[in-house]
Amino acid sequence: MNSKNCCFNLSKALISENIKRFRLGSLLAFIGYICIMILPMAMGKFGENVVSTTLSVKYIPFAGIVTLVPVVAALFVFNYLQHQSSSSIVHALPYSRKQLFNSNCVSGLILCLVPVIMMTLIFIMCRCVTGPVEQAMFDPQTGFTGRDVFSFGAILNWSIHGIVMTIAVFALSALAAVLSGSTVVQLVLSFIFIFLIPGVTEIISKFCDVLLYGYFQPEWIEYVLRYGSPVFAMIMSNSSRMSEIVPGLVYYPVISAVIFAVSMKLYRSRHMEKAGDAIVFNKFKPLVTYLVTFVGMSLFALFIYAITPGKMVYVIYIGAFGGALLSYVAVEMIMQKSLKIHGFAKGFIVYLVLAAVFFGIMSCGGLGYEAGIPESDAIKSVDIRGLSSEYVTDIAQESITDQESIDRIRNLHKDIIEEKSDFFPDCSRYYDKNNGAMLAGEACIHVSYNLKNGRTVARTYIVPYKWLSRNESAKQVYESRGYKAYMYPVLKLKSGEYDINNISLITSSEGDSVGRRDYAVNEAEKYEQILGALKEDLISLKYNQMNGMSDDVDLFSIQLTVNRDVKIDPELNRQYFEKYGSYYEEEYEYYTYIVNSNYKKTVALLREWGMLDNVIVKPEDISHITVRKNTQVSDASVDSTEEIYVINDGGDKIMSDEENYSEVAEITDREAIAKILNFFKSDRFCGNTYYSVYFHANSSQSEYENCFIRCYSEETLPETIKKAIN
């Protein structure tokens, strides 16, 4: 009988029966594809944008169906495994277990893949009717070109991705069906398996971010997050890059075959009387229990840490214990199908020991991760960011390669690690690396070592500026020629190798410019002199002058506009802007620097030419000044409290709130304005309580239009303001 019904370990009868019973599910999947793909295309009249979006493998609704349909199909075809009566009947049929498993898998895959194949045929028919759907591309040399986003190649790419990823998800769901003895557990396990690798990787990475000082997520983790799940591989893919398409299309068929083979082996040794148990294999129960407990513990611990003011590290351990206890109890109740848990203490203690080892490794430096600084002779180049407040726009900075600067950066790195107890973990309360919010005078220093063997070692640290201000290694880094060339790319411009298009002087301050005025230096013969003076000033800058710790007031900004090597047709660029709302590429590079009184040669040269008065803010430009006292409550997530002061011409203090803030008095005392205006620049080490001083221009239409701000601590607040508000 087997020979009549079976071929290549398949049963035509079983396959046909499964398809007849569950074809409605396949039909619903096909209708779902029509709704999320064909309907949007038709409603958009097969326009280039809607076709490009809908036919992309990154299309979220497409990824959702590819995830859901195989999971449901596996629930259908393997449903008999979850009930003892059904399991006994099916296994009494004259088929081997291998034949049963193969036949169910094939029928399940047919149910999943037929909608994808039918959609492929419909796309091809639509393509034959609509013809090419061109999407404009822009080439700076030749102008607009186009690509057919509804080509047969694009349709084939969509189809192959849909087939490969559907098979991968079904393989994981089949494994969940074989391991579980309950429909609910099978469903949960299916989604756990689909997102297991990227989920656990991300959880561990989050713990590293909190517990390992200097942690910076390595590049390989992004690769794991991208390819660790077939769903993420689709969502995070870039279908325009074959380097990102090919790995997934090669990797997942191989992995799927391995998973099917493992599932078959487990199926053949499965005890059918175990149907109804959460997990039918006793040897897998501890693994599943501890895995789910780890995930539950981690999510609870990280959630408690995120919502706790101050974000102190010990909260992680408290949350981890509470989360582990709750998760372990819940999982064991499901496993044992009882509110009374047998062997609870032994199993939970084993888990606690494993968790203690994990957290112990993290707390002790992550097996040398925290102290890991590459040897000097192994380093090819270094990138370091966050040390300086200097702001340079649109500059592609080259890595630091000179050995002296590399050694100085390594020394600074060593100091940060050795002295972290001075500022860690307290400083983390005032800084959020995810959104870049910087409070209480802290820097986010990122150092990346590019090694000679091709590897990259990167670390990120939260360091108070006050610590940097007294660190000798930081001073040596700042004043090295390599770091200056890194921070000031204009130093690399050499005579005869550049073409300056324009130099402009711009009214500058820490905030929005007061009465902003741009002054263009139109005499091309003066460009060389200005560039030479600027270079000399940058080279001569000392540590405190570069790091914003001197008493010098910012005067103006100087912007050099240098022609790029590649010329772009302005008309083509204009057309691109009209079509897409932004320029494809600027024709120039912009070198912008804030000039203060330390730039002696530059200031003297421009004063000699009579240019400074055109851009420097003077007391007569200011209409009035307002002061706010800000107090950070406890954490960046809590709104700060404010007291608002208005200084009038008599030096009286007026308290105001937001409702009455429009009724402010103006400063008419020019001498007082001059004293405050010429006081040294903002204090970057303000701490929890600081003063925001608003300088309002004569041209202001409202209290916050056309003004700039300086911030001061209690100690550095100008005496004139202290007298006015006390």
| 677 pLDDT above the threshold of 70 | yes
| Structural tokens at position 211 | 């517990």
Contact 713, 683 (CB under 8 A): yes
Helix (H) or strand (E) holding 88: helix 84-91
Q: Is the pLDDT of residue 233 over 60?
A: yes
**How far apart (Å, rounded) are the C-alpha atoms in residues 719 and 107?**
84
Residue 640 clears pLDDT 60, i.e. is over it: no
CA proximity to 374, closest of 456, 483, 454, 445: 456
Per DSSP, 378 falls in state: G
Q: Tokens in use for 178?
A: 């074989």
Weakest mean pLDDT among 79-88, 362-371, 496-505, 615-624? 496-505
Average pLDDT over residues 636-646: 49
Question: CA 407, 411, 416: angle at the middle one, nearest 5?
Answer: 145
C-alpha to C-alpha distance for 374 and 407, rounded to whole angstroms: 11
- pLDDT at residue 717 greater than cutoff 90: no
Please enumerate in sequence order all residues whose Cβ is within 8 A of that of 64, keeping only pairs 6 or more positions apart, or say none: none
Give the whole-angstrom CA distance, residue 644 versus residue 660.
10
Summarised one tens digit per residue, pLDDT across range 531-560 is 889 889 988 888 877 766 666 777 788 888
Q: Which residues of 393-421 are buried (b: 16+ CB within 10 A; e: fewer)?
A: eeeeeeebebeebbbbbbbbbebbbeebe
| Helix H or strand E segment including 124 | helix 97-130
| pLDDT band of 123, cuts 50, 70, 90 | very high
Average pLDDT over residues 642-654: 51
Q: What pLDDT is stored for residue 379 in this prediction?
A: 93
pLDDT at 55 over 80: yes
Instruction: Report the distance separating Cα 60 and Cα 54, nearest Å.
Output: 9
Cis peptide before 309 (omega within 30 of 0): no
Structure token pair of residue 201: 């990787």
As a whole number, mean pLDDT of residues 578-604 equals 71
374-417, pLDDT tens digit by residue? 999 999 999 887 765 443 333 345 788 889 989 999 999 999 88
- The confidence score (pLDDT) of residue 574 equals 59
What is the predicted pLDDT for the residue at 592?
80
| pLDDT, the chain, mean | 78
pLDDT of res. 688: 62
Query: For 463, what's the count of Cα atoms within 13 Å in the CB-facing half-sphere?
Result: 27
The pLDDT of 609-613, averaged and rounded, is 82
Backbone dihedral angles phi then psi of residue 43, each to the nearest 5 degrees: -65, -30
Residue that is written with structure tokens 């077939």 in the block: 230
Q: Is the pLDDT of residue 347 over 50?
A: yes
Task: Examine the pLDDT at 177 and tell me if it is beyond 60.
Answer: yes
pLDDT computed for residue 451 by the predictor: 92
Confidence of residue 350 (pLDDT cuts 50, 70, 90): very high
Q: What is the pLDDT of residue 320?
A: 92
CA pair distance 304, 319, nearest whole angstrom = 6
Residue-level pLDDT at 508:
58
Q: What average pLDDT score do residues 197-201 get?
A: 91
Average pLDDT value for residue range 695-700: 69
Q: Where would I find the H helices in 131-235?
A: 152-179, 183-211, 219-227, 230-235
* Structure letter (DSSP) for residue 639: P
Tell me, what's the pLDDT at 169? 94
Q: Are 465 and 472 in contact (CB under 8 A)?
A: no
- CA 349 to chain CA centroid, nearest Å: 37
Q: How confident is the model at residue 125 (pLDDT cuts 50, 70, 90)?
A: very high
- 636 falls in which pLDDT band (50, 70, 90)? very low
Q: Are 422 and 462 in contact (CB under 8 A)?
A: no
Tokens of 59: 């299309």
User: Cα–Cα distances in Å, from 632 out to 123, 233, 435, 643, 688?
Assistant: 58, 42, 18, 12, 5
178 three-class SS: helix
Q: Using the structure block, give the residue that is written with the tokens 């080279």.
A: 539
How many residues in total does the chain contain? 726
Q: Residue 439 has what pLDDT? A: 43
Q: Is the pLDDT of residue 316 over 50?
A: yes
Strands 431-432 and 379-385: unpaired
pLDDT reading at 257 higher than 90: yes
Question: Looking at residues 570-574, what average pLDDT do you find?
Answer: 58
Which of 59-68, 335-344, 514-523, 672-681 is most confident?
59-68
Between 436 and 443, residue with greater pLDDT: 443
**Single-letter amino acid, residue 137:** M
Buried b (16+ CB within 10 A) or exposed e, 447-469: bbbbeeeeeebbbbbbbbbbbbb
Structure tokens at 315: 């909260």
Please report the pLDDT score of residue 644 as a whole number.
Answer: 57
* For helices 344-363 and 183-211, angle between their N-to-C axes, nearest 10 degrees: 30
Segment 37-50 shows an average pLDDT of 84
Token digits for 474? 């930081």
Half-sphere exposure of 160 (CA within 13 A, CB side): 14
DSSP E strand boundaries for 487-607: 500-507, 518-521, 554-563, 588-596
Whether 175 has a pLDDT exceeding 90, the answer reads: yes
- Residues ≥6 apart with Cβ < 8 Å to 22: 73, 76, 77, 107, 111
Q: Provide the pLDDT for residue 704.
A: 46
Among 567, 556, 399, 541, CA closest to 480: 541
Asked if residue 156 has pLDDT above 80, the reply is yes
